[in-house]
Amino acid sequence: MDTSKIKNIFFIVLVAVLSSVITLLGYNVTTRNGKTLGGTTSGDSYANSFGQDKNMVLTNLTTADGYPDFTEAATKSVDGVVHVKTKTISQQQYMNPFDFFFGFGDRTPAQPREQVSFGSGVIISKDGYIITNNHVVENANEVSISLNDNREFTAKVIGTDKLSDIALLKIDGDNFPYLTFGNSDELKVGEWVLAVGNPFNLTSTVTAGIVSAKNRGNVMGEGLGIQSFIQIDAAVNPGNSGGALVNTRGELVGINTAIYSETGNFAGYAFAVPISIAGKVAADLKEYGTVQRAVLGIQVPNIENIRIENPDKARELSQIKGVLVEDFSDRSAAKAAGIQKGDVLTAINNVPIRNFAELQSQLNRYRPGDKISVTVDRKGSNRSFNVELKNDEGNTEITRNTDAIGKLGATFRPVTDAMKSKLGISSGVEVVTVDNNGLFRKNGINKGFIIMRINNTPINSADDISKIVASTNSRQDKVLLVAGFYPNGRTQYIAIDLTTN
């Protein structure tokens, strides 16, 4: 064999060996980091808001025998999941039966009653930010956090969002164990997941199951604006609310929120808010104090209502692969971009859209002012439109919690216990000053007014008012119903629209 042939063979072998080494090294790095090189996860941009370390070594997926191994994922998860205890002061009205029969009405002051509730939460940053469910901390006067190592903290409620049932808490510290965000978009039906929380007040409980479905809608009725859940069959019970749904790598992929049950306890199905949505909500609450919701400004058919009157039409609509544009809202972003009635939305930024839940899942990732590509099927022809998303007021402005509070144009001070006793009330703050251009003055509330309740929630401090304004500002109606009075005057109920100037 001549020298040139030997050199060629040697060169081919050398290239093959180097290629194998590079491939193995690349696979090792990829496996160690738990993601494909150059790839991104749905939680990355929101993880950055909380300073999460994305270079963590992830856990093994299987045992030596090839069976699923959840031990490392469970060990890491329980330290990042906390027990949430809340105290809420509710009001009980006591009716004197003689007052009722003789027409004097309810003259007995409301009596305060303390209620204690429990739930779960997930630490998402080393400086103590915690995601939980809104319904876990809603109207709470005090929130306490217990870690897996038995340390206890008083938590501050940074913000709440009723539509997604997500709340953000904060405890003081700088070196807490936390869970890193995973990619809830990449979850597959049939994939193993773990639910970590505190069911029935039992701390640090881990259950396993599979992803039963994705983008599950029509789960919570009309109480929530988010109808795009991860459905799982891991056991989730009362007390698990706000806890972690993690994949087998120990990454946070959802916040356990609800169960499907006729008894109130686990009956085979549970539902979690994907971290792609929960992470964005938490980031908004941290940065702005309220959630920035982007809308296309379209109206879609309500198939359930149509099914009652016209089953055949409902059946036809349910066969559509996409979302039918039935009409537009005022100042619609979609209409301004050129989308027409009768178009069927089939993709957003090249992500397929097969139903309204998937449309919501995608839109909930964006803020007003973001630009997206929307693909529609128009009479059998695909077309793409660049849409600049707007908020529900028809503009691209960012809303901040402080903006709404400042618009009230008032300062407050708590009513003393002695004054409460004298006035016959159990909650209240006094309006100390009123700005001539504020919403309070414009709606007839002036200095000296005693606020007992806002939106039927007892008020005892300016902070209570801030929380109510923050939660109301995230709703569609954005109306405060203020119950109060001037000393020696009758009780008044005053509605204040936060969208007015």
Cα–Cα distances in angstroms (integers) from residue 159 to residues 43, 289, 335, 401, in the given order: 19, 6, 33, 9
Name the DSSP class of 110.
P
DSSP 26-91: HHHHHHHHTS-TT---TTHHHHGGGT--TTPPPPP-B-TTS-B--HHHHHHHHHHEEEEEEEEEEE
SS3 content of the chain, % helix, strand, coil (to 5): 25, 30, 40
Distance CA 399, CA 147 (A): 34
The one-letter amino acid code at 146 reads S
Position of tokens 């915690």? 130
Among 96, 97, 91, 95, CA closest to 110? 91
Contact assessment for residue 289 and residue 400, using Cβ atoms and an 8 Å cutoff: yes
- Cα 347 to Cα 361: distance, rounded to the nearest angstrom: 12
DSSP 173-189: -S----PPB--GGG--T
Single-letter amino acid, residue 186:
E
Q: 3-state secondary structure string, 344-360?
A: EEEEECCEECCCHHHHH
| Tokens 């544009």, located at residue | 325
Q: Enter the tokens of residue 278.
A: 């929960």
**Helix H or strand E segment including 111:** strand 111-123
Strand partners, 85: 118, 144
Q: How big is the CA angle at 196 (ends 194 and 198), to the nearest 5 degrees?
A: 150
Burial of 55 (0-12, 13-18, 19+ CB in 10 A): exposed
Residue reference for tokens 């209570």 = 464
Give the per-residue SS3 of 240-289: CCCCEEEECCCCEEEEEEEEECCCCCCCCEEEEEEHHHHHHHHHHHHHHC
Residues tagged active-site: 135, 165, 241
SS3 373: strand
